[in-house]
Amino acid sequence: MPTLSDLIEKNKEPLLSRWLDLILATYAKETALLWKQQRNQFTNPVGNRIREGIQGILTCLLADENGSYQEQAAVFLDDIVRVRAVQDFKPSEAVSFIYLLKKVLREDLWAEIKASDLFVELLALESRIDSLALLSLDIYANCREKLYAMRIKEVKNVQKRLLERANIICGYSDVQAGGEDRSPE
Amino acid sequence: MAKLPPPEELVKINYSTPVKGWMDVPADFRPGTFSYPGKPDILKYLGFPNPREWSPTDADWKLPPDWREIIMKGFRERLDKYRSFKVFMDICVRCGACADKCHFYIGSGDPKNMPVLRAELLRSIYRGEFTVAGKILSRLAGARKLEEDVVKEWFMYFYQCTECRRCSLFCPYGIDTAEITMMARELLTLVGCNINWILEPAANCNRTGNHLGIQPHAYKDMMDFLCEDIETITGIHIEPPVNKKGAEILFITPSGDIFADPGIYTYMGYIMLFHELGLDYTWSTYASEGGNFGLFTSDTMMKKLNGKMYAEAKRLGVKWILGGECGHMWRVINQYMDTMNGPADFLETPVSPITGTRFDAAAGTKMLHIAEFTADLIKNGKLKLDPSRNANLRTTFHDSCNPARGMGLFEEPRYVLKNVCENFVDMPEETIREQTFCCGGGAGLNNEEFMEMRMRGGLPRGSAVKYVQEKNQVNTLVTICAIDRATLPPLCDYWAPGVQVAGLHELVANALVMEGEQERTMNMRQEPLPGFEDAEEEE
Amino acid sequence: MAAFYSFMAVLALVFIAAIGAGSAGMYTLFGVAIPYVALLVFLAGFIYRIVYWAKSPVPFSIATTGGQQKSLPWIKNSPWDNPYTVTGTVIRMILEVVTFRSLFRNTKIDLRVDNVKVVYGSAKFLWLFALIFHMAFFTILIRHMRLFLDPVPACIQKIEFLDSILQVGIPTLYQTDLLILVGLTFLLLRRIVDVKVNYISLAQDYFPLFLLLGIAISGIYMRYFIKADVISIKELTMGLLSFKPALPEKALETTFFVHLFLVSCLLAYFPFSKLMHLAGVFLSPTRNLPNNTRRQHYTNPWNDPAIKPHSYAAYEDDFREKMIEAGLPVEKEA
């Protein structure tokens, strides 16, 4: 009797291909068609990251069932989420791509799952997928926080010396430049 | 068993909506993808039309009542002034060679970021208003009428072009989107649609001599402040000459480097280098800006701001001008300066007082690039360098768009870099030199509100940096542009965390062995030099 | 949709010629009048367009530099990609026009599933097929000169010989006849299949392709299938050329009139279309100017000397006291 993992392993290529299609379809309007149909010819860093990412994620989901898959998958999730975090997506849209794997599995493997009665395994796998969705949310939030932090840092950087100078005028003249970490003698 | 509900219902994913022609897709202004508009008082100071409070997200942009006539008149005038504009409007065959060359298109996938479509935004109006076929056949001839939505679309996409000219390199007819973007921005300015990040620096530069609006005493003060740091690092006290009449050389560099991190280290590098050489030179507070945001506004503004360089050279009575590390500054100097404000007959062809080399490449403008100057010094063995001080750095070099495709400055900075740092590796061939990718913030788009779009546009550069980071353990991205020094740190932070950004002359300063210096234990950033890491901890 | 309209338009043109010169027998109209008018429109339109362009000056020298500049003597420069002399610029232009050098640079972002990072592969197909089409078109154009020159110059005969060097079929096959179809088909399919190019394509991009295909196919049909009477055709062309137009005694095939009519349409359409890139490429300031504006002066005819920078005097007036206080030298004491 085949396990769900075997089943997925056997159908890995078509599953990944459909998952990729569905993800590319979340790109708005014109982009969707452009990137979807450009799969073999015109590609790009975005498509590249997504492709590699989903491959890695699926491998992690299958390879490990004892819990460390999250850590391993984080790298691949990051590849995808980092891009989607700076594209025109709402947070829910940005991390939604992971749920599309559920759709693919259910729709493409439904007959086999039913025939071999693999529902328990499917539920377990779906739980793992759900946890990756939560993880994606963390990554998304990190990326967005980073964006805002970068914006603030940039404002500061542009006038770094002015700010330092201003600080000194405000009464830090006894502190040497770059010496704020040194303990008083 | 009943069929399960499809999981994507949870998140209501929008699958590909029917694809519409690009003319039917209005511009959608989401925060992070546009820059804030010019402030009314800045417009008033510059004498620009239609100063008002407005936002791109407003439905009503408060255009002047006769905006259509204004734009059409401006369009016609520019066709008469620029052959490039006419030819570029007429000869595009839409072969698509440029399409995937734009960093914004690669990162965003928005078709209107394809250079060809960006230009079609203007071309469609040209056809619809100036050609017979366009007037009759309309859409079928790729023509349309000038509507308010078109102006909005222009504002969106011509302020999403960094004028990097990468597309122009691949175009079989040399169609230059930068040229088209410049025209479009001028037209937009005629009806009061422009961005503050360009206009305020331009206004500041006009009045105070630099982008940030720093007044002369503060500029001097800041310089002294940096000299204190130099003294801390080297033990050498330097008093750089400012506004000194009769000096041999006038030095001009972007003002961003005197305030901004990490530009300040490059700025200190210049001061140290010139001191070590005993160069008879001067800084200027009146011409304290190398950059020229007029290039991103209009030819008039560009000429006006650029004029300061020669004016100051004349007033101070110098022989020639030396220019610092900057990107678009060098496009202006190389391709516009002499035409606009030359010939500078009162100056002499630059001759290095140290090596005696005569720089014929600068015989017209009389303005030399610091990388050329330093490369010549090193080649002639005039600098004592200790590259081991940069041994902790594994560097790669980012070619800035303007010196790359508007000048061709590739070998000089690399030669200098290889001489001050032993660990150097180039990024993949297709992402450097003339094919270099933009930082995502050129042409006045290096503002923080545009950060999201900058990160999209920065993806190709980021990927290349990450590639050498993983393959060659690169940890420092060296560049010769002040805007790059501001835009690349967040770019690296996001796409290739762990890579820092440095100016070329920061590394020169690290390696420069100066006469009478104390034992150097720290680099320009006051971080311990290789071999002194422990000493720092013991303290 | 744009492709369909263009196809229908060309089809309509074919029918007009087939019916007009075939069924209705308007030989003089299609054989003499229309070609004359078309040629006239072509010449006038071509000159008009060039003059229209040339009327606008080139205010700035804005070469796109594609290689190392000429600076220090010990640094090797790229004389063709970043020319600083007229000679270098001419070579750059020749390489551009004859070998499509910029297009050759074309790279495509390529995705490798097994490789983590973006790989930039080269995409030379557009270059290759564009070159095939243009070269074939040019050769065919030269070959056609035999219809306008008597005696036929040796060089044209040589080209014909080289073009049919494979010695296949009777009449011997010209390789360019095949190549032009290959080139056009690729360029057309690319517009239809490549989504990115499809999205940017307009009717005016398809129309010339269909028109050229129509011309090529009718020409090939004439030569290889119905083996048109070249002597009679030359009678007509020589008559047209000597301004004593007369229809040959032997009736010409309808296909010939279709061919001629499509060519006339192309001629008349040419000056008002993107096909003018033929001339425009020579006028493109990013390619036809040397990168030497730091070396020598370049003049902008409308440069306005009245535009002056904010003067130093005004600047000092603004900040004099602060400058004095900071110890900066000033021109005028307060």
* Nearest C-alpha in B relative to C278: B91
B285/chain A closest Cα distance in angstroms: 16
Residues B288 and B408 in one domain: yes
C111/chain A closest Cα distance in angstroms: 6
* Nearest C-alpha in A relative to B492: A150
Is the pLDDT score of B73 beyond 50?
yes
Confidence band, pLDDT 50/70/90 cuts, at residue B19:
low
Nearest to C82 among B336, B375, B408 (CB): B408
The arithmetic mean of pLDDT across residues B136-158, rounded, is 91
Residues B76 and B149 in one domain: yes
Rounded CA-CA distance B409/B173 in Å is 23
The strand pair at B281-282 and B249-252 is best described as: parallel
Residues B146 and B272 in one domain: no
The arithmetic mean of pLDDT across residues C130-139, rounded, is 94
The arithmetic mean of pLDDT across residues B184-193, rounded, is 96
**pLDDT, averaged across chain A:** 79
The arithmetic mean of pLDDT across residues B491-512, rounded, is 96
Residues of chain B positioned with their CB less than 8 A from the CB of A177: 225, 228-229, 232, 526
Counting the structural domains of chain B, the total is 2
Residue type for A115, please? Answer: A
Of the candidates B143, B165, B194, which is a domain's last residue? Answer: B194
Residues of chain B positioned with their CB less than 8 A from the CB of A158: 212, 256, 259-260, 486
Confidence band, pLDDT 50/70/90 cuts, at residue A183:
very low
Selected for mutation to probe chain C from B92, B108, B292, B334 (highest C CB count within 10 Å) is B334
Residue B393, SS3 per DSSP? coil
* Phi-psi sector, B356: left (phi>0), alpha (psi -120 to 50), beta: left
Is the CB of residue B143 less than 8 Å from the CB of residue B131? yes
Q: Give residue A68's pLDDT.
A: 79
Whether residue B256 and residue A154 make contact (CB cut-off 8 A), yes or no, is no
List the structure tokens of C193.
């299949």
B326/chain A closest Cα distance in angstroms: 16
Q: Please classify residue A134 by burial: count the beta carbons closer than 10 Å to its beta carbon, then call 0-12 exposed, 13-18 middle and 19+ buried.
A: exposed
Q: HSE-up of A182 (CA within 13 Å, CB side)?
A: 11
List the structure tokens of B348.
């002499």
Lowest mean pLDDT among B95-99, B509-513, C285-289, C320-324: B95-99
Q: Give residue A40's pLDDT.
A: 35
How far apart, in Å, are the Cα atoms of B342 and each of B291, B306, B329, B366, C297?
A: 18, 11, 16, 10, 7
Q: Cβ of A34: how many Cβ atoms within 10 Å?
A: 25
Nearest to C118 among A33, A37, A48 (CB): A48
Q: Which chains touch A (3 or more CB pairs under 8 A)?
A: B, C
Residue B34 CB partners (closer than 8 Å, separation 6+): B56, B155, B156, B159, B160, B449, B450, B453
Q: In this structure, which long-range contacts are made by residues A20-23, counting pairs with CB atoms below 8 Å and at least 24 apart in sequence?
A: A20/A50, A20/A51, A20/A54, A22/A97, A22/A100, A22/A103, A22/A104, A22/B8, A22/B15, A23/A50, A23/A54, A23/A80, A23/A97, A23/A100
Q: What angle do CA B530, B536, B537 make, to 5 degrees?
A: 115
A83 part of contact set with chain C, CB < 8 Å:
no
Residues B231 and B153 in one domain: no
Is the CB of residue B258 less than 8 Å from the CB of residue B223? yes
Selected for mutation to probe chain C from A46, A51, A52 (highest C CB count within 10 Å) is A52
Q: Give residue C185's pLDDT.
A: 95
B531 in a structural domain: no
A37 part of contact set with chain C, CB < 8 Å:
yes
The terminus-to-terminus CA distance of chain B in angstroms comes to 73
Q: What pLDDT digit, counting tens, does each position of A45-83 carry?
A: 777 788 889 999 998 888 766 667 888 889 999 989 999
Q: What pLDDT digit, counting tens, does each position of B354-373 carry?
A: 999 999 999 999 999 999 99
Instruction: Kindly list the structural domains of chain C, giving each domain's residue range(s) and its CATH number in brackets, ordered by start.
Output: 2-303 (1.20.950.20), 305-334 (no CATH)
Whether residue C294 and residue B243 make contact (CB cut-off 8 A), yes or no, is no
* Residue B368: closest CA among B311, B314, B329, B316: B329
Whether residue B94 and residue C62 make contact (CB cut-off 8 A), yes or no, is no
Of the candidates B194, B219, B240, which is a domain's last residue? Answer: B194
Residue C3 CB partners (closer than 8 Å, separation 6+): C191, C192, C201, C203, C206
Residue A103, SS3 per DSSP? helix
Element containing residue C108 per DSSP (H, E)? strand C107-110
The arithmetic mean of pLDDT across residues B416-440, rounded, is 93
Alpha helices in B171-215 (DSSP H): 177-190, 196-208
Whether residue C195 and residue A48 make contact (CB cut-off 8 A), yes or no, is no
B8 in a structural domain: no
**pLDDT, averaged across chain B:** 92
Residues B377 and B420 in one domain: yes
Residues of chain B positioned with their CB less than 8 A from the CB of A100: 7-8, 13
Whether residue C203 and residue B308 make contact (CB cut-off 8 A), yes or no, is no
Residue B394 CB partners (closer than 8 Å, separation 6+): B423, B425, B472, B473, B474, B475, B476
Q: What pLDDT digit, counting tens, does each position of A139-156 carry?
A: 999 999 999 999 888 887
Residues B176 and B275 in one domain: no
Q: Which chains touch B (3 or more CB pairs under 8 A)?
A: A, C
Residues B173 and B227 in one domain: no
Q: What pLDDT digit, counting tens, does each position of C202-258 carry?
A: 999 999 999 999 999 999 999 888 888 888 899 899 999 888 888 887 778 889 999
Whether residue A25 and residue B16 make contact (CB cut-off 8 A), yes or no, is yes
Q: Give residue C170's pLDDT.
A: 74
Residue C249, SS3 per DSSP? coil
Q: What pLDDT digit, counting tens, does each position of B216-254 carry?
A: 998 999 999 999 999 999 999 999 999 999 999 999 999
Residues B90 and B188 in one domain: yes
B518 in a structural domain: no
Q: Give residue A35's pLDDT.
A: 59
Which one-letter DSSP state was computed for residue B37?
B
Is the pLDDT score of C116 beyond 70?
no
Residues B186 and B269 in one domain: no
The terminus-to-terminus CA distance of chain A in angstroms comes to 75
Is the pLDDT score of B17 beyond 50?
no
Residues of chain C positioned with their CB less than 8 A from the CB of A55: 113
Residues B91 and B167 in one domain: yes
Residue type for B231, please? Answer: E
C193/chain A closest Cα distance in angstroms: 9
Element containing residue B281 per DSSP (H, E)? strand B281-282
Of the candidates B161, B176, B194, which is a domain's last residue? Answer: B194
The ipTM, to two decimals, is 0.91
Residue B501, SS3 per DSSP? strand
Q: Give residue C246's pLDDT.
A: 83
* B:C CB pairs within 8 Å: 308
Could you say which residues from 52 to 111 on chain B have a Cβ atom under 8 Å away from some Cβ of chain C? Answer: 79-88, 90-97, 99-100, 106, 111
Rounded CA-CA distance B251/B282 in Å is 6
How far apart, in Å, are the Cα atoms of C280 and each of B60, C56, C79, C197, C288?
A: 40, 13, 23, 22, 11
Q: Give residue A6's pLDDT.
A: 87
Q: Give residue B8's pLDDT.
A: 58
Nearest to C61 among B86, B305, B335 (CB): B335
Whether residue B311 and residue C309 make contact (CB cut-off 8 A), yes or no, is yes
Q: Give residue B12's pLDDT.
A: 55
B5 in a structural domain: no
Q: Give residue B11's pLDDT.
A: 52
B40 part of contact set with chain C, CB < 8 Å:
no
Edge-to-edge, what's the strand order for the sheet holding B500-503?
A: B395-398, B476-479, B500-503
* Residue C197: closest CA among B416, B111, B413, B262: B111
List the structure tokens of A74.
């984080």
The terminus-to-terminus CA distance of chain C in angstroms comes to 75
The arithmetic mean of pLDDT across residues B387-415, rounded, is 96
Is the pLDDT score of B5 beyond 60?
no
Q: Please give the biggest Cα pair distance in chain B.
A: 93
The strand pair at C107-110 and B281-282 is best described as: unpaired
List the structure tokens of A16.
């990944």
Q: What percent of chain C has pLDDT over 70?
A: 95
Q: Give residue C244's pLDDT.
A: 87
Is the CB of residue B306 less than 8 Å from the CB of residue B209? no
Q: In this structure, which long-range contacts are made by residues B413-419, counting pairs with CB atoms below 8 Å and at least 24 apart in sequence?
A: B413/B371, B413/B375, B413/B478, B413/B480, B413/B504, B415/B375, B415/B378, B415/B379, B415/C75, B416/B371, B416/B374, B416/B375, B416/B378, B416/B504, B416/B508, B417/B478, B417/B504, B417/B507, B419/B378, B419/B385, B419/B387, B419/B511
The arithmetic mean of pLDDT across residues C57-77, rounded, is 95
Q: What pLDDT digit, counting tens, does each position of B280-309 carry?
A: 999 999 999 999 999 999 999 999 999 999
Q: Say which residue, C266 or B11, is predicted with more confidence.
A: C266
Could you say which residues from 44 to 73 on chain B have a Cβ atom under 8 Å away from some Cβ of chain A? Answer: none
Q: What pLDDT digit, counting tens, does each position of C81-104 carry?
A: 999 999 999 999 999 999 998 888
Residues B418 and B296 in one domain: yes
Residues B299 and B214 in one domain: yes
B448 part of contact set with chain A, CB < 8 Å:
yes
Residue C155 CB partners (closer than 8 Å, separation 6+): none
List the structure tokens of C179.
């190549």
Q: What is the total residue count of chain B?
A: 539
Q: What pLDDT digit, counting tens, does each position of B162-179 carry?
A: 999 999 999 999 999 999
Residue C110, SS3 per DSSP? strand
B9 in a structural domain: no
B136 part of contact set with chain C, CB < 8 Å:
no
Is the CB of residue B329 less than 8 Å from the CB of residue C329? no
* Phi-psi sector, B503: left (phi>0), alpha (psi -120 to 50), beta: beta
The arithmetic mean of pLDDT across residues B399-420, rounded, is 96
Whether residue A44 and residue C109 make contact (CB cut-off 8 A), yes or no, is yes
> Which residue range forms the structural domain that includes residue B129?
22-194
Q: HSE-up of A166 (CA within 13 Å, CB side)?
A: 7
DSSP output for B469-491: HHHH---EEEES-HHHHHHHHHH
Q: Give residue C111's pLDDT.
A: 43
